[in-house]
Amino acid sequence: MDVRAPKLKSAAKKKSEKTTGRPAEDQSHEWPRIGTVVGETSTGRYTFILKNLQGKLGDIVATRVEVPIATGGKKEVATVWGRITSIDRFNPFFPAEAAQELANENIKLLDTVLSGSRDHLEAEVLILGTTFGDDPGAAQLSPLTYPVKPSAEVLYPPADDVRRLLTGEDDKKTPPPPKLSIGSLIARSDVPVSLSARDIVSRHLAILAMTGGGKTVAARRIIRELIELAYPLVIFDPHGDYLGFFEKRALFPKSRVRVLFPSIRVRQDNLGVISDLIDKMGKKLTDAQQQFYYYLLSNTSATDGQKAVEYIQRLIDHADNIAAKKRKKDDHIADELADTRSGTMNAVKRSLEFVRDNLRQMESNNARLRSQSRFKEYTFEEMPDPSDAPDEIVAPGTVSIFYLAGYDHLNQSAIVSIVLEALFAHRSTLSGVIPPFQAVIEEAHNFIPSRQEGTDETPSLPTIRKVITEGRKFGTGLVLISQRPSRLDETTLAQCNSFLVLRLVNPRDKSFVRSVMENLSESDANILQAFGRGQGIVSGQAVRFPLLVQVKFDADLVSEAIGDEDFITEARAWKPDPQRKANAEIFKRNMNKDTQKARSDENERTTNDRRNARKRPSRRGGIKPDF
């Protein structure tokens, strides 16, 4: 039916000859026509009627428009690039009342004169920018300055042109600027999508998605690309999601991948963090107790590099010491402690013991996890001192993965704070000890929680804020990953200049993301919940314009040791410890009822006592190791 097409072409050709004064050689005339612009248009978006099955959501399309150029009434033909952000389908030739009648009379549409074949597809396009001349990648993509013309044809540029558009001038430069390839356009698997490495490492990236959306897979992809660039990496890994890099280190022969376990050590420069940590982990202290605690802190010297547990032990010993003197009414007691009652001292001591036990518990949690049989091929190293030996953490071609499992959020946060603070200090004082690096922070909501979360005392928050704000100057880029964007500190997140947002369903998260990402259109926000695994929208400085991307899944990076737990199988295969069972049998058999009862009463009392002692209500509640 499209008998007019040839004429249209020649008309357009004539026009461009007239206006630009050069032959219309544009390759766009060979691009397939997929529709016609209709309705009201603007410089930001337009709508077009799409031919059946000729385009789909997320497709990059083009149209042409004459735009005025500065010099006296002249105009030039611009290629306007856009992305299809929604498609409505309706059949204007099928009236609703006819549907009613068909239903009432039980007749088939096909048997009547009604039309069922003429669906109208109305596609909405978000304008991305314009180029002039032939090469979509030739010039800077500039904003459209004059609206698209209703009735203009909409074209479907081939993969090559779209690819050139996405990469801009980059391909022309020698050497081309480094790229992090993350996947392809959702709508067109033949068009690869990559991020500008420079923008990621200096301007930060946030990867946001609901759980299972594919954040970790995407982060691994980006990390892998950074490894290929031999860029130094520091990964804070609360669940072991990134240990696969160690397992598969043979894939990266030029790099050194290390798995580190935390050890919290005291230094003069982090004493503040440590004392804060102790304070927060312990029981809430009264003013008098607080005073005594400060006395202990300032009168117990710490050796640099000493383990926090040992330092706490020294505080405890010190407290013990003073308490003993107090009991003996020893005169050698400091004046300021004259009024401190021994009850106060004991309370502080118990709090410190509690903290010490917790820390030991978490250390051993972590150690137990590391010694699982599935990690038997792994070589975990104790983390180097980030202040003294930062170059053992950050070095060219080195990936340092901090395995934080077993520690609670507070301690994980303290560790991140201590490490990042020290590394950043080296960068910002230009000590010349470590190169620029990229830090990856999983479960970022635990490290940079929003104020509403009531945890604005999280030690890592001020550190990360500082790093993210000044990272641009000092080459300390961040990748923040979170499944609850709305729980993130907004000011910190807003410092990210690039976003990869995968499937997101929670309305609060969606609206939060919209508020942080300036250029996310409403229709884009609306499709977030429809994304499949690994599908998302990438926007910000790292790309020329927002793109719908299908993240590449690196199957070869999937760790055999970590993998997805199969609890069903585990439960089915579960065998109770025979020895434990046998022991229990002994008691059942040998103890008579009365003794048994007496025993158990006593038992109950003692356990209760112990529980009371241990489970002091701390400000953070009990410790729950985070596996």
Q: Cβ of residue 404: shortest distance to ligand ATP, in angstroms?
A: 14
DSSP letter at 72 equals T
Which of 42, 115, 600, 603 binds other proteins (CB under 8 A)? It is 115
Establish if 32 lies at the interface with other proteins (CB under 8 A).
Answer: no
Whether the Cβ atoms of residue 292 and residue 340 lie closer than 8 Å to each other: yes
Task: Single out the residue of 89, 156, 153 nearest to residue 117, CA to CA.
Answer: 89
Q: Which span (170-178, 209-217, 300-308, 492-500) binds ligand ATP, by CB under 6 A?
A: 209-217
Q: Cβ of residue 443: shortest distance to ligand ATP, in angstroms?
A: 8
The Cα–Cα gap between 112 and 340 comes to: 98
For residue 550 the two structure tokens come to 């299908």
Choose the contact partner of 212 out of other proteins, ligand ATP, Mg ion, none; CB within 5 to 8 A by kind. Answer: ligand ATP
Q: Are strands 380-382 and 256-261 parallel, antiparallel or unpaired?
A: parallel
Whether the Cβ atoms of residue 185 and residue 58 lie closer than 8 Å to each other: yes
The Cα–Cα gap between 149 and 65 comes to: 6
Establish if 287 lies at the interface with other proteins (CB under 8 A).
Answer: no
Q: Which span (112-120, 179-187, 510-518, 578-586) binds other proteins, by CB under 8 A?
A: 112-120
Whether the Cβ atoms of residue 59 and residue 51 lie closer than 8 Å to each other: no
* Those residues with Cβ within 8 angstroms of residue 33's Cβ, 6 or more apart along the chain or in another chain: 5, 51, 153, 154, 155, 156
Q: Which span (38-46, 214-222, 342-350, 380-388) binds ligand ATP, by CB under 6 A?
A: 214-222
For residue 164 the two structure tokens come to 């050139």
Closer of 51 and 307 to other proteins (Cβ):
51
Which of 176, 212, 272, 343 binds ligand ATP (CB under 6 A)? It is 212
The Cα–Cα gap between 183 and 214 comes to: 13
Which of 55, 58, 137, 213 binds ligand ATP (CB under 6 A)? It is 213
Establish if 507 lies at the interface with ligand ATP (CB under 6 A).
Answer: no
* Those residues with Cβ within 8 angstroms of residue 94's Cβ, 6 or more apart along the chain or in another chain: 114, 115, 116
Choose the contact partner of 533 out of ligand ATP, other proteins, Mg ion, none; CB within 5 to 8 A by kind. Answer: ligand ATP
Q: What beta strand segments (E) does 347-391 contain?
A: 380-382
98: exposed, middle or buried (C-beta count within 10 Å: 0-12, 13-18, 19+)?
middle
Question: Which residue matches tokens 């025993």?
Answer: 599
Binders of Mg ion in range 204-243 (CB under 5 A):
215-216
The Cα–Cα gap between 292 and 274 comes to: 17
Whether the Cβ atoms of residue 476 and residue 437 lie closer than 8 Å to each other: yes
Binding mask 327-366 for ligand ATP (x = CB under 6 A): ----------------------------------------
Which of 105, 331, 564, 594 binds other proteins (CB under 8 A)? It is 105
Q: Which span (71-79, 115-123, 373-381, 503-511) binds other proteins, by CB under 8 A?
A: 115-123
Choose the contact partner of 350 out of ligand ATP, Mg ion, other proteins, none; CB within 5 to 8 A by kind. Answer: none
Establish if 504 lies at the interface with ligand ATP (CB under 6 A).
Answer: no
Establish if 211 lies at the interface with ligand ATP (CB under 6 A).
Answer: yes
Instruction: Report the SS3 class of residue 59.
Output: coil
Which of 17, 68, 93, 212 binds other proteins (CB under 8 A)? It is 93
Establish if 118 lies at the interface with other proteins (CB under 8 A).
Answer: yes
Binding mask 46-75 for other proteins (x = CB under 8 A): --xxxxx-----------------------
The Cα–Cα gap between 403 and 379 comes to: 12
Choose the contact partner of 534 out of Mg ion, ligand ATP, other proteins, none; CB within 5 to 8 A by kind. Answer: ligand ATP
DSSP letter at 285 equals P
Closer of 32 and 212 to ligand ATP (Cβ):
212
- Beta-bridge partner residues of 441: 236, 480
DSSP letter at 89 equals E
Whether the Cβ atoms of residue 35 and residue 123 lie closer than 8 Å to each other: yes
Q: Cβ of residue 162: shortest distance to ligand ATP, in angstroms?
A: 20
DSSP letter at 32 equals P
Torsional sign, CA 502, 505, 506, 511: positive
Binders of other proteins in range 461-490 (CB under 8 A):
none
Q: Cβ of residue 44: shortest distance to other proteins, in angstroms?
A: 18
The Cα–Cα gap between 575 and 583 comes to: 16
Establish if 412 lies at the interface with Mg ion (CB under 5 A).
Answer: no
Residues in contact with other proteins, total (CB under 8 A)? 44
Q: Which span (143-151, 220-228, 348-356, 435-443) binds other proteins, by CB under 8 A?
A: 143-151
Binders of other proteins in range 1-20 (CB under 8 A):
1-2, 4-5, 8, 11-12, 15
Establish if 202 lies at the interface with Mg ion (CB under 5 A).
Answer: no
Q: Is 53 left (phi over 0), alpha (psi -120 to 50) or beta?
A: left
Question: Which residue matches tokens 């006592």?
Answer: 609
Q: Which span (111-119, 129-137, 282-290, 561-569) binds other proteins, by CB under 8 A?
A: 111-119
Choose the contact partner of 483 out of ligand ATP, other proteins, Mg ion, none; CB within 5 to 8 A by kind. Answer: ligand ATP
Establish if 217 lies at the interface with ligand ATP (CB under 6 A).
Answer: yes
What is each CA distance from 535 to 58, 144, 212, 316, in whole angstroms?
A: 11, 28, 11, 53
Which of 42, 112, 364, 372 binds other proteins (CB under 8 A)? It is 112
Whether the Cβ atoms of residue 423 and residue 476 lie closer than 8 Å to each other: yes
Q: Which span (132-140, 147-155, 255-263, 420-428) binds other proteins, by CB under 8 A?
A: 147-155
Task: Single out the residue of 370, 385, 401 nearest to residue 236, CA to CA.
Answer: 401
Which of 22, 23, 103, 117 binds other proteins (CB under 8 A)? It is 117
Establish if 106 lies at the interface with other proteins (CB under 8 A).
Answer: yes
Choose the contact partner of 118 out of Mg ion, other proteins, ligand ATP, none; CB within 5 to 8 A by kind. Answer: other proteins
Whether the Cβ atoms of residue 30 and residue 120 lie closer than 8 Å to each other: no
- Omega before 462 cis (within 30°)? no
Residue 406: phi and psi, rounded to 5, are: 95, -20
Choose the contact partner of 38 out of ligand ATP, Mg ion, other proteins, none; CB within 5 to 8 A by kind. Answer: other proteins
Helix-helix angle 271-281:409-428, to 10 degrees: 170
Which positions lie near ligand ATP, rule CB under 6 A? 209, 211-217, 483, 533-534, 551, 553
Which positions lie near Mg ion, rule CB under 5 A? 215-216
Which positions lie near other proteins, rule CB under 8 A? 1-2, 4-5, 8, 11-12, 15, 35-36, 38-40, 48-52, 92-93, 95, 97-98, 100-102, 105-108, 110-118, 120-121, 149-151
